[in-house]
Structure 1
């Protein structure tokens, strides 16, 4: 897909690609309801709209610029994706879905605080990288219909097995289904010294593992 990728909007990267691969493995019924949390350019939402016949796709992002970009990309692709602005799942409270996709912020941050504005909102996620992930593990399960699936991508630095355990605590069946090792991007390279100091990466490490956690509400 050809996408608009304006400055200030998180552009599709390795994590987007890995989550798209996981999406392609899902069998969705015609007219399935899909939610894309943290849509950025709308790449995953558009992939979901193409993947399932008549899919009803809703995309959410906290960034006004991302919301506008996703709407424009959906219009250019001729795909009926609804894009809402808001914090994580708040814009769709009370609704349920057959599939929830999430590519949340997951990069550990030296200042430990979540930014309230700017592009750093797309990756900064507290001192351990789990501040947004932990919220998703609690807020996503109520969004799933019986048989519904959630696909969440994040770095191996943030402990995918903990994500699995938290989702299982919410009575979902969960496991890591996709893994990929990728070179550090600009943000990880800039923070490498701090990450080594924290013991989060090895002395010579210049790659990270990405993982997709798949969770299902068993009917």
Structure 2
């Protein structure tokens, strides 16, 4: 990663903090010093330090400089297993069916989320099965500017999720959990009654500053999500 970009400088400073170059609560060099060291502008350094502050790694005070946060904010690390893993770990046989696959312009909210503008994106609907019974229904948009090879990807027995995990590492993600009401088509696909409460997960992942994919998973009634923190 280029150390003169704000992302490169952010990661370089992060690595130095993790290595213990500065102790908890210790004042680190200012923007001028870092700008000279990394041969970049103060604005670039400011963006890097602000990103670290938003992550809770450092704290910044006006006229007080930037310090390594003395008591780092606790952060829960959530690992979402692949659907195949969830099914097989429960002793079931996993299979997935592509219900719909096309290239199209994403709805405005999705286009804004993926930063695709007027460009087209890949759209995919997948039904995930456990022992041939509906386990989850997935809708997904993929930013082809970030993953152009997906347009011709041969998914075969792989779900889009597995293909993306193997092909494009992501650096961060956002997850939202909610309840939704089963409506006509989704209720039919999941084999449940209309109006039933569905466990729903929305997830978006990025590679550095580039959105890769955003998706929604609907699980039928009775699904239970378990994870460690």
Does the alignment reach a TM-score above 0.5? no
Q: Which has the higher contact order (CA 8 A, sep 6+)?
A: 1
More helix by share: 1
TM-score by length of 1: 0.24
Structure number with greater Rg is 2
TM-score by length of 2: 0.23
More strand by share: 2
